[in-house]
Structure 1
C-alpha cells in the first residue's frame, strides 16, 4: 500500500480534525500522526527564548496509507480544503 505523508502547520485542533476527516475517506486504511524525531534545543535561558518563532503554530507529521492514486487525490483535496478553511499550511511528501 502506498503511503502519503503530509506536514500540517497549525494548532492541535486542526490536526485532530484533519486526521478524523482523512480516516473517514473511503479506501484510506490508516491515518497516524507520527512523532517529531528532531530534538528541540529550546532552552528557557536562551537569548532567543520568547521570540515569536517559539510561539508559532505546531507542526504535525501525518502518514496516510492509501490503496491507490485516486484515494491519494481525495486525501489531498480534503487536506487542502481544511487547510484553507482553518488558515493552516499543508505540505506533501508521498511515495506514489
Structure 2
C-alpha cells in the first residue's frame, strides 16, 4: 500500500481544500495532517519576530494511504491540478 507524504505551503483553507479533495478520491480511506517535527525559529523574543518575511503562509504536512500505485498517481495528478488553481506550493516527499 503506497504511502504518500506531501507538504502544502499555503493557508489553512488551502490545506483543508486539498484534504477534502483527497478524501473524495475513490479508494483513499486515510488522510492525516501530521505534526511537523522540524522546529521553526519563530520565538517571540527573536530579533526577526514580526518582520514581513515571518508572516508568510503556513506549512501543512499530509500523509495519504493509497490502495495501489494507480490510485497514488491519481492523487498526485489531482493535488497538482488543485494546487495550481489555488496558487499554492505542494511538495511530494520521495523515498528514493
Same topology, TM > 0.5: yes
TM-score when normalising by structure 1 = 0.90
For residues 1-96 of structure 1, the aligned pairs below 5 Å read 1-95=1-95
Distance, in Å, in 2 between the alignment partners of 1:47 and 1:95 is 37
Q: Which runs of 5+ in 2 are unaligned?
A: none
Cα–Cα, structure 1 residues 68 and 95, in superposed 2: closer, same or farther, change >3 Å?
farther
Aligned with 2:74: secondary structure?
helix
Distance, in Å, in 1 between the alignment partners of 2:11 and 2:79 is 14
Q: Which runs of 5+ in 1 are unaligned?
A: none
TM-score when normalising by structure 2 = 0.90
Aligned with 1:15: secondary structure?
helix
Cα distance, 1:94 vs. partner? 4.2
Q: Which runs of 4+ in 1 moved over 6 A?
A: none
